């Protein structure tokens, strides 16, 4: 009875996690689109015309875009907080209320899979180059770009035709993590068929994963962007969820590798 109640609470919490993940994606995309529109209006040509119009009519077209961007940013932070809070609550229920380790591992796997999917498709970082132009009385945007993991891969494959780099990134940073998570899910669900071969496959897949490489690359780009006087880099929710997946994946793999050691010693 206790496990049934805990399972129902965990399922309800996971539904909330999925819903918050969807909200994180929507708000991040809205923030990125509003930022792109704002950057477009702040380019040299548009910026001069907008400031002349503001000087003549007193009307500023940039204000609605800025308000929209701030609203999306706040909603996105609330959704991300809800995602993390519900994830933690679900894990606590699965760990301390339920008496089965399988429920805890399944909860970890479900949260990590949602974090992976949302993290891959959600914008991860925004970079823009600005400089103050005395003629306009304000900053002008010379370069703007928002990137996520999936958009980076699609840019390499479809826009640049760089299959030598794009295909390995697609395989090692998206396909293999999903396959690894599904194998771990099968190992946990069908415990009677737990085998050394399946666990060793998980171990090998983990060596080929590039999730940590992607996280480090985005963080390096972030710090490099902020070190320049005219560049501004901003981390977006996608990188946080992708980092969460990487950490949870390491945690789950470590627990399952403990089983592998136990099986090999028998």
Query: Residue 125 phi/psi, 5° resolution?
Result: -155, 145
- Give the predicted TM-score (pTM) of the model: 0.82
Please check the confidence at residue 22 and state whether its pLDDT lies above 60: yes
Q: pLDDT higher for 145 or 192? A: 145
| pLDDT score, position 108 | 92
Please check the confidence at residue 220 and state whether its pLDDT lies above 70: no
Closest CA to 252 of 53, 104, 120: 104
| pLDDT score, position 111 | 95
Q: What ranges do the domains of the chain cover?
A: 2-265
| pLDDT score, position 128 | 77
Query: Residue 132 phi/psi, 5° resolution?
Result: -80, 125
Q: pLDDT higher for 73 or 228? A: 73
Q: pLDDT higher for 260 or 121? A: 121
Of 40-44, 107-111, 190-194, 215-219, which one has max mean pLDDT? Answer: 107-111
- In tens, the pLDDT along 34-92 reads 887 777 776 655 555 555 454 444 445 556 667 788 888 899 899 999 999 999 999 99
State how far the Cα of 104 lies from the Cα of 90, in Å rounded to an integer. Answer: 9
Helix (H) or strand (E) run with residue 235 in it: strand 231-235
Please check the confidence at residue 150 and state whether its pLDDT lies above 50: yes
pLDDT class of 156 with cuts at 50, 70, 90: confident
Please check the confidence at residue 23 and state whether its pLDDT lies above 70: yes
**If you average pLDDT over every residue of the chain, what do you get?**
76
Of 11-15, 68-72, 165-169, 255-259, give the lowest mean pLDDT range.
255-259
Of 134-138, 217-221, 222-226, which one has max mean pLDDT? Answer: 217-221
State how far the Cα of 136 lies from the Cα of 176, in Å rounded to an integer. Answer: 50
Query: Residue 38 phi/psi, 5° resolution?
Result: -65, -40
* Cβ neighbours of residue 239 closer than 8 Å, sequence gap 6 or more: 119, 124, 125, 215, 218, 219
| pLDDT score, position 200 | 66
């Amino acid at each position: 009875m206790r496990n049934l109640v805990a399972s129902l609470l965990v399922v309800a919490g996971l539904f909330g996690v999925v819903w918050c993940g969807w909200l994180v994606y929507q708000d991040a995309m809205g923030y990125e689109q509003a930022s792109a529109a704002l950057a477009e209006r702040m380019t040299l040509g548009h910026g001069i015309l907008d400031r002349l119009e503001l000087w003549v009519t007193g009307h500023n077209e940039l204000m609605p875009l800025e308000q929209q961007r701030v609203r999306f940013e706040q909603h996105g932070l609330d959704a991300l907080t809800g995602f993390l809070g519900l994830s933690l609550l679900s894990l606590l229920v699965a760990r301390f209320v339920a008496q089965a380790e399988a429920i805890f591992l399944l909860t970890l796997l479900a949260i990590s899979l949602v974090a992976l999917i949302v993290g891959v498709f959600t914008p991860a970082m925004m970079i823009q180059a600005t400089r103050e132009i005395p003629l306009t009385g304000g900053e002008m945007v010379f370069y703007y770009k928002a990137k996520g993991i999936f958009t980076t891969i699609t840019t390499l494959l479809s826009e640049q035709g760089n299959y030598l780099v794009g295909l390995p990134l697609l395989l090692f940073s998206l396909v293999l993590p999903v396959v690894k998570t599904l194998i771990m899910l099968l190992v946990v669900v069908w415990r009677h068929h737990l085998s050394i071969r399946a666990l060793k496959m998980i171990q090998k897949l983990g060596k080929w994963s590039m999730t940590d490489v992607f996280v480090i690359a985005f963080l390096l780009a972030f710090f490099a962007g902020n070190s320049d006087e005219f560049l501004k880099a901003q981390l977006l929710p996608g990188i946080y969820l992708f980092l969460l997946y990487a950490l949870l994946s390491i945690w789950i793999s470590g627990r399952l590798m403990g089983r592998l050691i136990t099986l090999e010693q028998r």
